[in-house]
Every structure is written in C-alpha cells, then in structure tokens.
Structure 1
C-alpha cells in the first residue's frame, strides 16, 4: 500500500511542483523507491515460496496444484529479480548513512 501511495502521491506532487527532490523521482537514485522495491520483491519471494512449499506438502497430483506451482515459481522469479536489481542501490544508501 505504501509503495502504490508513493508512486501515485509522489508523481502527483512532483507534477504539481510541490515535491522537488534532489534526485529523479522513481529512479534507482531515489532511496524511497529502491527501498520499497527491495521490500516488495522480498515480500513476493517470501509469499510465493511459502505457497510453493505448502502446495508441495498438501497435493501435487492434480492440475490445480500444478498450476499453483507454476505461477508461484514464476512469481518467485520476479521477486528475486526485483531484489537482485535493487540490492546494490539499497546497500549503497545504507553505507552512506
């Protein structure tokens, strides 16, 4: 929710000229954007990984379970890619603190 709020409210305030940070809005030099992207990617990995494990524990033989496994592994890949892309800017920002 906070990520979507930052995207909508930050964009609207930037267009209106009220919010003018020293960095480009919604870029990898924007610390709020990179931290929220990193957290969302980690959350996606956590949820899709637990869904995969629970599906493997409960049932694997039917078509619905295979679909859930496929989509949750794809979601895990997207979350891991988001974490991989945003980890360097987040670590750089944390080192500068």
Structure 2
C-alpha cells in the first residue's frame, strides 16, 4: 500500500508529521487547507479508519500505525479543546518516498 505522510501545523504553531498507510488521506485533507480543530480530528478519524480497513482487507490484520496516529492526533487536539477558533493547517502531503502530492 502506498504510505503517505501529512504535515500539520497545530494552533500553537507546532508542526507534526503524521502517517497514513493509504492514499485515502488525500480524499479528506488538502495541502494548504485550514480546518477547524474538530473538523480536522473528524476528517483524520474517517481517513485513518478507512486506511486501517484497507490494510485489514489486504493483509488480514489491523494497521496499528493508523490507530496509533489517530490516538496521537486526538490527544494533541484535546489540549486545544478550550481554545476558541482553534484550527489546524495541513502544510503538505507526501508519499513515503518523499514525493509531494
């Protein structure tokens, strides 16, 4: 499966490199887009859920990395829950080989 990375900027300016085991992330997030915090978390939840399902269908087991990435996103987002107008910017989406999308 073509692994992808998506680089996000959190409301405090911190940059996080996130992982997806599938290109489905491109159906939910766009480079340069700014998403309200809750929307970003929900889009990530949907995309990484589908990505994990694709891994299970192809290899017969769940993708622990997709689940771990979602847990990291949810934990980081929880720290901004009380910040009004909190938003996340998708800085870039790349394939695991470094090729930009």
State the TM bucket, normalised to the shorter chain. Answer: 0.3 to 0.5
The structure whose residues are more often helix, as a share, is 1
Higher RCO (Cα < 8 Å, 6 or more apart): 2
TM-score by length of 2: 0.35
TM-score by length of 1: 0.36
Greater Rg over alpha carbons, structure: 1
